[in-house]
């Protein structure tokens, strides 16, 4: 009893501290906004960014260069179907049906090429066989997973479908429930992950989970603690780990703070309150057209006992986290703005 | 062969569809004598199959074991009929199984095969894609009507360690399709098949003849344990329903419990509302253990299984058979 009470007090204290930080950040912004020169600079910068991004988008849409030519679509779909051992009903043993990707391919291309204008570095680091794709998670909605999927499906040769470990709550949602399996995604359970790796698949894991994706704007690019499960599975199945840094997704939806009671009511992991919410309602959850930068690091090979104690596993996880951190810093240094 | 005693096999629930198929397959073997136990009539019974029309729970059943040396029991006489009351389910299934296992132990029957079902795992959103035999049995989580079947399955498992001299085999086949009157075959026989809007779980089906082959494979000496029995690979539910060529009815899942309850009470459908989770979430199992140890291989594909469930003579006899649904 006493313990739970003390953890309650701690949780409350954390909430207060977070609100204080939020307040300081907001006060800073307001102070900056009252300073005319700074205000002009910020407005200038956004006008410049929007015009550059807008002209990029307009060019792509007008000349149709965002769509793959039909023969390229065929080539990629054939390569995706090859050595998948599909049943007479077109699915692999995990329920993935490559042909079900066809109708949504234009949407994926639109998000990948037009909306997020994804810039990819080090895609050659993704091997052909089994591997774990480990990335930082952000953006309120998992468009970072969509971007990694786009890179592997649309830019890699031969194309691969990353198999993401889906949150259990999402599996019960109508429509998503019917589609995610067909699109090669799977319930996030260690057993599913193990079997996919043994079948030489590329499994995508965001070890920050719901904590990471739902973090408020003030905490952007501060990775939350990593889960350890992926490392045990990598050791057990002898799979290389490809660290991935996603830069840009943090700014797609601005989460002022999480409204925990509403999240609880809706059975969501979080309920972000965004600045546009009063104006746009639920549409405010949709991402703004920020520019994504993906960095695929060199595959990391780990050796050791999968059932080692937490300290030993944590040390290995820290190496992966550090690799992602380095690439994140590089991405933040390299980018010129949120939208370009 | 001369002089050697024929081996004696007892089948409970022999008048059910699977019991009949199993009895017919066994009686073709010259070295096997088959005695079936069922309180229901055995239609079109081959002459050399003996049928005791008694209730398995009755004492008279014991006389058979007292006077004969039984070599194997196939316990298929389980009931799963949502229209029957809870107490009838429990006494029939649990006490019936207790009787069978006690007789096996008392009269030293070396082999007992129980036909359970993979439904004991239950459809849940967080099921692994391949459920193995050691997974917890969650089938009754939202569907109390499954409790007795889970109790029977676990009761039989307790015999593995209590009486290691009996080779107990528990088979958990996926949805059996064919002339059987189980939930999934009845579902596919509906004139208009209900589906849940926005849901399309992966399902596994097996042809009734393949299910019987698995039961026979489990009878081989030296085998014991729990086995998932899987036929052809899993497929999306909507593909399975499309194979019937029938119109479907899309129901939003929020409305489903109330609609399903009404339909069940008005006798429009024979599915209790809780059973609808089977068309919402997946419960696909891993059949590799049966494949490796029982050497079980399926022969019929999904299309043949669906065709077997929709055969005209079975659909015509449907209303008559409703009264005696068994798994």
What is the CATH architecture assignment of B7-324? 3-Layer(aba) Sandwich (3.40)
pLDDT tens digits, one per residue of A145-178:
999 999 999 999 999 999 999 888 888 888 999 9
Dihedral (C-alpha) A227, A231, A233, A236: value to the nearest 10 degrees?
-150
Q: Pick the more confident residue, B318 or A277.
A: A277
Is the ipTM here above 0.90?
no
* pLDDT of B321: 43
* Helix, strand, or coil (residue A216): coil
Mean pLDDT, residues A185-196 taken together:
94
* pLDDT of A285: 76
CA distance A126 to A302: 16
Mean pLDDT, residues B242-250 taken together:
93
- The two structure tokens encoding residue B143: 């569907």
Among residues B88, B73, B74, the alpha carbon closest in space to that of B325 is found at B88
Task: Count CA atoms closer than 13 A to B3's CA, side-chain side.
Answer: 0
Test mutation, B195, B198, B251, B287, chain A, max A CBs within 10 A: B198
pLDDT tens digits, one per residue of B11-45:
999 999 999 999 999 988 878 899 999 988 888 78
Residues of B near A (Cβ–Cβ under 8 Å) read 125-130, 132, 196-202, 232-236, 239, 252-253, 280-282, 301-302
Mean pLDDT, residues B50-58 taken together:
87
Q: What contacts A32, CB < 8 A, 6 or more positions away? A: A38, A39, A42
Q: B67: left (phi > 0), else alpha (psi -120 to 50), else beta?
A: alpha
Domain boundaries defined on chain B: 7-324
Q: Is B315 a residue whose pLDDT tops 60?
A: no
* pLDDT of B133: 95
CA distance B178 to B175: 10
* Helix, strand, or coil (residue B10): strand
* pLDDT of A337: 86
Is B129's CB within 8 Å of A172's CB?
Answer: no
pLDDT tens digits, one per residue of A41-70:
888 888 898 899 999 999 999 998 899 999
Is B235's CB within 8 Å of A192's CB?
Answer: no
CA distance A193 to B228: 21
* pLDDT of A198: 95
Is B233's CB within 8 Å of A95's CB?
Answer: no
- Residues of B in Cβ contact (< 8 Å) with A89: 235-236, 239, 302
CA distance A204 to A145: 8
Domain boundaries defined on chain A: 67-252+287-334
CA distance A141 to B9: 60
Is B301's CB within 8 Å of A88's CB?
Answer: yes
Average pLDDT, chain B: 88
- Residues of B in Cβ contact (< 8 Å) with A173: 198
Average pLDDT, chain A: 89
DSSP code at position B295:
-
pLDDT tens digits, one per residue of A252-308:
888 888 888 888 888 787 888 887 777 777 777 788 899 999 999 999 999 999 999
* pLDDT of A7: 67
Q: Is A309 a residue whose pLDDT tops 90?
A: yes
* Helix, strand, or coil (residue B280): coil
Least confident of A145-154, B108-117, B272-281: B272-281
Percentage of chain A modeled with pLDDT above 90? 58
CB A64 within 8 A of CB A110: no
Comparing alpha-carbon positions, the chain B residue that sits nearest to A174 is: B198
**DSSP per residue, B134-182:** TS---TTSS-GGGHHHHHHHHHHHHHHHH-TTSEEEEEEE-EEESS--S
Q: Look-up: residue for tokens 């090859």?
A: A82
Q: Is A2 a residue whose pLDDT tops 60?
A: no
Test mutation, A85, A165, A171, chain B, max B CBs within 10 A: A171
pLDDT tens digits, one per residue of A114-150:
999 999 999 999 999 999 999 999 988 899 999 999 9
CB-nearest partner of B253 from A93, A174, A187 = A174
* pLDDT of B313: 59
Q: Is B318 a residue whose pLDDT tops 50?
A: no
- Residues of B in Cβ contact (< 8 Å) with A99: none
Q: What contacts B56, CB < 8 A, 6 or more positions away? A: B12, B37, B77, B96, B99, B100
CB B76 within 8 A of CB B208: no
CB A202 within 8 A of CB A152: yes
Buried b (16+ CB within 10 A) or exposed e, A27-61: eeeeeeeeeeeeeeeeeeeeeebeeebeebbeebe
Q: A67-252+287-334 domain in CATH 3.40.1130? A: yes
CB A294 within 8 A of CB A120: yes
CA distance B169 to B112: 6
CA distance A207 to A244: 12
pLDDT tens digits, one per residue of B132-174:
999 999 988 888 888 999 999 999 999 888 999 999 999 999 9
* pLDDT of A144: 93
3-state secondary structure B13-72: CCCCHHHHHHHHHHHCCCCEEEEEECCCCCCCCCCCCEEECCCCCCCHHHHHHHHCCCCE
Q: How many angstroms from the chain centroid is the CA of residue B131?
A: 18
């Amino acid at each position: 009893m006493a313990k739970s009470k003390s953890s309650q007090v701690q949780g409350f204290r954390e909430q207060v501290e977070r609100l204080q930080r939020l307040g300081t950040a907001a006060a800073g912004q307001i102070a900056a906004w009252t300073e005319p020169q700074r205000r002009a600079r910020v407005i200038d910068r956004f006008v410049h960014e929007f015009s550059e991004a807008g002209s990029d988008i307009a060019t792509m849409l007008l000349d149709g260069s965002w769509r793959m030519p039909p023969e390229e679509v065929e080539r990629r779909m054939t390569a995706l179907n090859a050595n998948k051992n599909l049943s007479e009903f077109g699915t692999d043993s995990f329920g993935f049906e490559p042909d079900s990707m066809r109708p949504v391919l234009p949407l994926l291309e639109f998000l990948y090429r037009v909306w997020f204008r994804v810039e990819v570095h080090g895609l050659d680091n993704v091997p052909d066989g089994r591997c774990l794709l480990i990335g930082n998670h952000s953006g309120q909605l998992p468009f970072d997973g969509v971007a990694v999927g786009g890179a592997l499906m649309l830019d890699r040769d031969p194309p691969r479908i990353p198999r993401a470990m889906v949150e259990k709550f999402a599996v019960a949602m109508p429509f998503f429930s019917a589609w995610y399996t067909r699109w090669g995604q799977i319930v996030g359970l260690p057993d599913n992950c193990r079997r996919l790796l043994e079948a030489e698949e590329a499994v995508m894991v965001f070890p920050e989970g719901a904590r990471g994706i739902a973090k408020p704007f003030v905490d952007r690019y501060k990775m939350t603690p990593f889960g350890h499960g992926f490392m045990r599975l990598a050791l057990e199945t002898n799979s290389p780990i490809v660290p991935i840094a996603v830069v840009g997704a943090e700014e797609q939806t601005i989460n002022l703070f999480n409204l925990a009671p509403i999240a609880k009511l809706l059975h969501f992991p979080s309920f972000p309150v965004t600045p546009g919410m009063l104006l746009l309602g639920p549409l405010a959850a949709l991402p703004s057209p920020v520019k994504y930068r993906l960095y695929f690091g060199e595959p990391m090979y780990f050796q050791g006992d999968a059932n080692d104690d937490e300290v030993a596993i944590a040390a290995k996880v820290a190496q992966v986290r550090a690799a992602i951190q380095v690439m994140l810093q590089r991405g933040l240094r390299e980018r010129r703005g949120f939208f370009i | 062969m001369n002089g050697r005693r024929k081996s004696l096999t007892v089948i409970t629930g022999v008048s059910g569809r699977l019991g009949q198929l199993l009895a017919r397959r066994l009686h073709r073997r010259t070295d096997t004598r088959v005695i079936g136990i069922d309180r229901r009539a055995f239609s079109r019974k081959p002459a050399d199959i003996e049928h005791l029309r008694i209730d398995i729970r009755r004492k008279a059943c014991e006389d058979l074991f007292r006077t004969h040396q039984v070599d194997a029991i196939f316990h298929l006489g389980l009931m799963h009929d949502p229209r029957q009351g809870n107490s009838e389910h429990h006494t029939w299934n649990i006490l019936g199984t207790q009787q069978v296992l006690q007789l096996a132990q008392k009269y030293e029957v070396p082999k007992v095969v129980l036909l359970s079902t993979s439904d004991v795992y239950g459809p849940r959103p967080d099921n692994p894609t391949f459920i193995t035999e050691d997974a917890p049995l969650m089938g009754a989580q939202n569907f109390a009507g499954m409790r007795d079947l889970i109790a029977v399955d676990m009761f039989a498992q307790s015999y593995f360690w209590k009486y290691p001299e009996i080779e107990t085999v528990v088979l958990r086949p996926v949805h059996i399709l064919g002339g059987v009157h189980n939930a999934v075959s009845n579902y596919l026989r509906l004139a208009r098949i209900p589906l849940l809007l926005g849901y399309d779980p992966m399902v596994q089906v097996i042809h009734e003849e393949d299910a019987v082959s698995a039961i026979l494979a489990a009878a081989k000496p030296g085998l014991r344990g729990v086995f998932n029995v899987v036929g052809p690979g899993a497929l999306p539910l909507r593909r399975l329903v499309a194979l019937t060529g029938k119109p479907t009815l899309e129901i939003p899942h929020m409305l489903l419990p109330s609609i399903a309850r009404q339909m069940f009470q008005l006798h429009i459908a024979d599915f209790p509302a809780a059973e609808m989770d089977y068309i919402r979430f997946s419960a696909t199992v891993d059949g590799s253990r049966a494949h490796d140890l029982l050497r079980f291989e399926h022969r019929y594909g999904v299309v043949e299984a669906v065709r077997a469930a929709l055969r005209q003579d079975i659909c015509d006899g449907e209303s008559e058979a409703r009264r005696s649904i068994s798994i």
